[in-house]
Each structure stands twice: as structure tokens, then as C-alpha cells.
Structure 1
Amino acid sequence: MAVLISGRGSNFEALYRATQDGQLPAEIVLVLSNVPSAAGIAHARSLGLPTAVVPSRGGGSRAAHEARVLNEIEQAGAEWICLAGYMRLLSAEFVGAYPNRILNIHPSLLPSFPGLDVQQAALDYGVRVSGCTVHLVDAGVDSGPIVAQRAVHVRNSDDAESLAARILREEHGLYAEALRRLLLEEWRIEGRRVVFGSTAQLDPSTGSAAEGLTAPPRAH
């Protein structure tokens, strides 16, 4: 898998740890950033992982930038792409190159509070429960089919920083868990969510797998 980051990459590090301790049967074949100074890239290099930097500023058009990113990913042989704080909205053309093979983790219970500054938005709205969501990526903003969610209760004393910190701790476990299931189990997209398990996928009229069933791909 390729992991795309723009900053410190704490979710990248959590995915890496999961590959090392046997929780996640996958290999990180590339860590790529659009920000040359991203702390996560330096950390990936210190771990001996393949890295690439494709700056998004001063690099021409969006299409040209995405073409360079896709080239790096394809050259690395990645079959999955995991976004870990990658602060770029992907085009439909980019997503179409890896259909249903791009994952993101978002620090809210989608579809509530997509986009940026979500913890302050949650506090301003007055929700009692927030959390995080792993979802497949489409061309929208945090709008792809939901794979997994985990709830975090909002405390009366919370500010945006304290709530974000507690949610981030949950993100680190949820991301690897969701990816593991996608790699090892049968699943399909049903409406706005991913449904796991082969039993539910059988067409009662034929006894065969229903349309849309996706077998686990070869792990990398």
C-alpha cells in the first residue's frame, strides 16, 4: 500500500506499527507527501521506507500534479492507497485509477461534519458524541462509502484540542482494523456503506454471489 501524507503522519505511523506487529497483513511500499517539509516523510525515511515528495505548490496544474503522484504510486506497485492527513481533494480521474482502493480516515462520525475544523464545529453544534470514520474515497469531500466508525463521547470540559486528541487515539486503532477487514474478508458496497461477509451477499434466487461482491485483493 501507499500512504499519502501532508504533515506529521501519525496515522501513517499507526499503520506502520500494525504491519510490524502482525495486526495488518500488508506492506507499505511508499510514503508520499505533497509537502517537502512534512515531518512524516522524515520519519518514514528513518524507518527505511520508500518515500517520495511531489510538491503541490509551484508544480503546475492539478492534473499534472496528480499524474506525477499516480506515477509514483504505480511505480511502487501499490494496490491500495491510504490517506493519512493528505490535505488534497482527489479528482474523479485520480479516484478512478484506483476504484474502491483508496481509504481515508476522518475525525468525525460522517456524514456529520465533513471537511476541516471538525472538532470546533462539533462543539459549536453541541453534539454529545463525536468520533472517527474510515471510508472509501470518492470525488467528493469525505463522502465515500463508510467502512468503519468509532464513537467518542464529548465531555463538558472539552475544547477542540482535547476532543481531537481523544479521537486521534481511536483513529490509530480503527484505521488498521478497517484495512485488515478489507484485505482479508469479502465485502461489497451497499448504498453508502461497506458490508462485510459472504453469507449476506448470496442472491437467494441463484445461490451465487450478488453483484458488487469484492474478493480480498492480494495484500502488499
Structure 2
Amino acid sequence: MRIAVFASGNGSNFQVIAEAVKAGKIDGEIVLLFSDNKQAKVLERAEQLGIPHVSFSPKDFSEKSIYEGEILHLLEEKKVNFIVLAGYMRLIGPALLEAFPEKIINIHPSLLPQFPGLHGIRDAYEARVKETGVTVHYVDKGVDTGPIIAQERVIITEDDTMSSLEDKIHQVEHRLYPEVLKKIIENRERRA
């Protein structure tokens, strides 16, 4: 499996997936890290891991379709057949969805359908719910609305701060995302 990871920020989920691939725990190869943020720390992580990386912003293009066309060109060039979103903060448009049907997954820091969107952890914390969690799902045209692949609950205690809740969520993400990706690849290989 030739994997592209899309990320916009720190890249901690990218790091754990890349390390799992390097250790042979995931039967695949990350052939591209794409970021829409030229200042993202994830680009440094890719550099340190020796993973090819490219960054450009939609602002560099006159239309979103041209931006996505350039991404598609990169993916074709690298012969990518699966996309992993790891903190990519943009909606995936129709060109990518059509080119990669049921081949794009995302991780979200809540128990979807609760608290979709950019601030899942903060929204759950401020809502004072007793639990939240992590969801891995296929990407569709909506905001965090695609078919759910896996979920894991995270209890919110009275002692939790926003920071401690973020830490708990990240711990689950860093374990769950590589596990789910491994299973998806194994299932696809069995069917091939």
C-alpha cells in the first residue's frame, strides 16, 4: 500500500504512523507527506524521518479545484493508493473524493457524531459531558460525517483540565490510528 499522509500542524499522529510503518507493524509505505501549511511542524518530522514532503496552500491558487488538481497530480506521480488525514484542517473536495473512493480516512477527537468540526476536544470539555473519545472514519463530502471505522471512549473526570483531556485524547489517537490503519490494509490485501 502506497500511502500519502495529509497534515496541517504538529504531526504527532503522522509521527506514530510513520514509526509503525518503519517498524514493519503496518504493511505499507508512506510515499508522501502533504501539508497545506508551509510552517507546520509536521514538515520537520517528515524531513527527520526521510519521508518526501510537499507543502502549498490553497491561497497559492485562484480556485480550490486547481489546488486539488495539483494535489492529485502529486498523488498520481507518487502512485498513491491510500490517503490518511492526520490533523489536516481542510475539507476534502470532490476531485479527491472521486479519485479515492473509500480510500481516505480521518481521525477525529470526539465520539462522532458528537462534536464534529475543528474543536472536538474543546467542544466536549465545554459541554461538560462525562465522556468523549476518538473516532476513525472514512471521509465523505461532509464535515466528519463519513462511515465510522472505529471508536474508543475517553472518560472526562472532574479533575480534568483542557490540557489533561487533550493528553488523554492524544494517547488514544496514537495507539488507535496505527492499529486501524494496519487492519484496513490487511483487509484490503486479503480481498485483492
* C-alpha contact 2:69 2:95 (8 A) present in aligned 1: no
Q: Distance in 2 between matches of 1:175 and 1:54?
A: 25
One-letter identity of the residue aligned with 1:64 = I
Give the alignment partner of residue 51 of structure 2, picking from 41, 49, 52.
Answer: 49
Task: Report the count of equivalent residues.
Answer: 190
Match of 1:78 in 2: 80
Task: Give the alignment's Cα RMSD to 1 decimal.
Answer: 1.5
Give the equivalent residue in structure 2 for 1:6: 8
Distance in 1 between residues matched to 2:162 and 2:107, nearest whole Å: 18
Identify the range of structure 1 (159-168 vs 3-12) with the bigger mean alpha-carbon deviation.
159-168
Larger radius of gyration: 1
**Residue 8 of structure 1: CA displacement?**
1.2
Matches within 5 A, 1:4-43: 4-43=6-45
What amino acid is the match of 2:55?
Answer: V
Do 1:14 and 1:172's aligned partners in 2 also have CA atoms closer than 8 Å? yes
Mark the runs of 5 or more structure 2 residues left unpaired by the alignment: none
Cα offset, 1:99, TM superposition:
0.1
**Percentage of identical aligned residues:** 38
Greater fraction of residues in helix: 2
Q: Which residue of 2 aligns with 1:66?
A: 68
Shift of 1:107: 0.3
What is the rounded CA distance, in whole Å, between the counterparts of 1:171 and 1:22 in structure 2?
Answer: 19
Q: Which residue of 2 aligns with 1:123?
A: 125
Tell me the alpha carbon deviations over residues 139-168 of structure 1, each in whole angstroms, 9 at most, x when there is no partner. Answer: 100000011111111011222222111101
Aligned counterparts of 1:10 and 1:74: Cα–Cα separation in 2:
26
Partner of 1:107: 109
Q: Tell me if structure 2 keeps the 8 A contact 1:83–1:103.
A: yes
Query: Which amino acid in the other structure matches residue 127 of structure 1?
Result: V
Partner of 2:179: 177
Q: Distance in 2 between matches of 1:165 and 1:70?
A: 34
Q: Unaligned regions of 5+ residues in structure 1, if any?
A: 187-213
C-alpha displacement at 1:50, in angstroms?
0.9
SS at match of 2:28: coil
C-alpha distance in 1, partners of 2:17/2:34? Answer: 14
Q: Which amino acid aligns with 1:143?
A: T
Q: TM-score, normalised by structure 1?
A: 0.82
Give the structure 2 partner of residue 210 of structure 1: none
When structure 1 is superposed on structure 2, of 106-115 and 55-64 the one drifting more is 55-64
Higher deviation after alignment, 38-47 or 54-63 = 54-63
AA aligned opposite 1:21: A
Quick one: distance in 2 between partners of 1:160 and 1:117? 12
TM-score normalized by the length of structure 2: 0.93
